């Protein structure tokens, strides 16, 4: 009998953490490492450098940490620039290294979810026009086929693209990521090519490994209208339709619709989702702003009330992930959902425990509404290089803190909380009482302290 003080998840639910190759491997030679070499691109002109030294072998000790968290899965990416350092030339040794890493996950009881593109590109690809080049679709499909043919015995859960709209807007609209462009026409072309690349990758994987489960991850932003709300509801609608909804809907029905642009037919993308990854972090107020032509005369800012992260992170409302799950379920006709990233920048671990509790509670609610959520991956296992934020300590996401001078890892208290959640496959009143006692009455109303103690003994 399930104790009434336990929010229980279904058997087989995946509990894990998420990482990206450029963040943790070290020694990269791709368009991001070149971008880092230009002063002003990264916080304090930092470079990823050795990162967390996974490529040198430190992945093994971090995989041990994931196992100690009682996780049963781990999301990681493989680096295209290592696998295909020159156009059409593949590096078998790099694939062997990834095979070794995936075998190490299996040995620890961790199911791999492998991301095939997590923002970084080979230099030859970037120099050929990158994702604005229509040939990019074929290049990506070639790489995906090669990698999956050699890793299919070790992975059956594939992610084609990580957050394509984030990649496109940061690199081609705001110009703060490589290639550093501010070109609306290029932005639209890149989004179309990314949708076609996902479709090409999906079909290539299915040909090589028919039973594989293939999806992509989408970054969804929580939105509310800035004052005056009556005027700015339209601004919210524009951002929601373009950033949150356009790409997932294109993969459902084969039509990409971006506000202000003609609909693009992409029939090969229709129905190319076995699952979708939801990545939810922050909340913004949105309004029209005539001073912001580069962002289509839209401006977003942290909400005026509630918790906020370091500038320009935005508001922190973990419980609102329920609404994002609800929309995806309705829009994608009950396609399975993984929470492939969720986290909070919090070097002191002051917010992360409440964030985890509120997130897990909201996901549990969604499961109990029969929304098809299959797993949750926290960003991130260890502190790492965070794109243009570099090693800024304010953007420390790890369950384990990392001293990048010594490579020493130290467990934060939130790691213990997540280990208990994973081990029990649920969230108990006793956990909440120990880690976030101020939430006890809200999340488990009517439970006395004595009942909570008895249920944990």
Among 115, 106, 66, smallest CA distance to 382 is for 66
For residues 358-386, average pLDDT? 98
User: Percentage of the chain surpassing pLDDT 70?
Assistant: 96
Task: Evaluate whether residue 1 is within a structural domain.
Answer: no
Which pLDDT score is estimated for 1?
30
pTM above 0.85, yes or no: yes
pLDDT surpasses 70 at 457: no
Rounded to whole angstroms, how far apart are CA atoms 190 and 280? 23
For residues 321-326, average pLDDT? 98
User: Percentage of the chain surpassing pLDDT 90?
Assistant: 89
Which pLDDT score is estimated for 115?
99
pLDDT surpasses 70 at 361: yes
Rounded to whole angstroms, how far apart are CA atoms 202 and 273? 8
Across the strands, what pairs with 157? 213
For residue 416, the enclosing domain spans 6-456
| pLDDT top residue among 298 and 268 | 268
pLDDT surpasses 80 at 52: yes
Average pLDDT, the chain: 95
Which pLDDT score is estimated for 298?
83
Question: Among the listed ranges 7-21, 89-103, 302-316, which one has the minimum average pLDDT value?
Answer: 302-316
- Using an 8 Å Cβ cutoff, are 30 and 79 in contact? yes
Which pLDDT score is estimated for 447?
61
pLDDT surpasses 80 at 450: no
Task: Evaluate whether residue 349 is within a structural domain.
Answer: yes
DSSP 123-168: HHHHHTTGGGSTTHHHHHHHHHHHHHHHHTTT--EEEEEE-HHHHH
Report pLDDT digits (tens) over 275-318: 999 999 999 999 988 777 767 778 888 898 888 999 889 999 99
pLDDT surpasses 80 at 3: no
- Using an 8 Å Cβ cutoff, are 295 and 174 in contact? yes
Say how many domains are in the chain. 1
- Using an 8 Å Cβ cutoff, are 25 and 443 in contact? no
Which pLDDT score is estimated for 292?
74
Could you tell me the CATH number of the domain that includes residue 54? 3.20.20.80
Confidence of residue 399 (pLDDT cuts 50, 70, 90): very high
* CA distance to 7, 202, 365, 414, per residue, from 306 (Å): 26, 40, 22, 21
Task: Evaluate whether residue 367 is within a structural domain.
Answer: yes
CA atoms within a 13 Å half-sphere pointing along the CA-CB vector of 257: 9
pLDDT surpasses 50 at 456: no
């Amino acid at each position: 009998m399930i104790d009434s003080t336990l929010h229980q998840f279904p058997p087989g639910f995946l509990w894990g953490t998420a990482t990206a190759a450029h963040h943790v491997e070290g020694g990269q030679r791709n368009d991001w490492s070149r971008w880092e070499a230009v002063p002003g691109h990264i916080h304090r002109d930092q470079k990823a450098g050795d990162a967390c030294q996974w490529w040198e072998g430190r992945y093994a000790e971090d995989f041990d940490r994931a196992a100690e968290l009682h996780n049963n899965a781990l999301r990681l990416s493989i680096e295209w620039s290592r696998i295909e350092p020159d156009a059409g030339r593949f590096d078998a040794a790099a694939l062997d290294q990834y095979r070794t890493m995936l075998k190490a996950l299996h040995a620890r009881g961790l199911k791999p979810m492998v991301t095939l593109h997590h923002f970084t590109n080979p230099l030859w690809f970037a120099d050929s026009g990158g994702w604005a080049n229509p040939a990019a679709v074929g290049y990506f499909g070639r790489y995906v086929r090669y990698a999956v043919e050699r890793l299919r015995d070790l992975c059956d859960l594939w992610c084609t693209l990580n957050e394509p709209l984030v990649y496109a807007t940061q690199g081609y609209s705001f110009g703060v990521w490589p290639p550093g462009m501010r070109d609306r026409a290029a932005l639209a072309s890149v989004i179309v090519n990314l949708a076609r690349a996902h479709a090409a990758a999906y079909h290539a994987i299915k040909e090589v490994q028919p039973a594989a489960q293939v999806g992509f991850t989408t970054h969804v932003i929580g939105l509310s209208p800035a004052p005056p709300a009556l005027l700015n509801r339209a601004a919210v609608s524009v951002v929601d339709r373009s950033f949150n909804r356009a790409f997932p809907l294109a993969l459902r029905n084969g039509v990409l619709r971006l506000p202000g642009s003609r609909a693009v037919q992409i029939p090969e993308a229709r129905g190319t989702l076995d699952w979708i990854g939801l990545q939810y972090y922050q909340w913004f107020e949105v309004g029209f702003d005539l001073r912001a032509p580069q962002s289509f005369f839209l401006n977003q800012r942290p909400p005026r009330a509630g918790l906020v992260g370091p500038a320009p992170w935005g508001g922190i409302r973990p419980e609102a992930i329920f609404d994002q799950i609800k929309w995806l379920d309705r829009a994608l006709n009950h396609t399975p959902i993984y929470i492939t990233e969720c986290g909070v920048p919090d070097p002191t671990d002051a917010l992360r425990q409440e964030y985890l509790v509120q997130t897990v509670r909201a996901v549990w609610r969604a499961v109990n509404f029969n929304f098809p959520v299959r797993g949750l991956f926290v960003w991130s296992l260890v502190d790492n290089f965070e794109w243009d934020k570099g090693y800024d300590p304010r953007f420390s996401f790890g369950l384990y803190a990392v001293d990048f001078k010594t490579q020493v890892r130290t467990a934060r208290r939130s790691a213990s909380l997540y280990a208990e959640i994973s081990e029990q496959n649920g969230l108990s009143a006793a956990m909440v009482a120990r880690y976030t006692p101020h939430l006890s009455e809200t999340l488990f109303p009517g439970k006395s302290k004595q009942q909570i103690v008895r249920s944990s003994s």
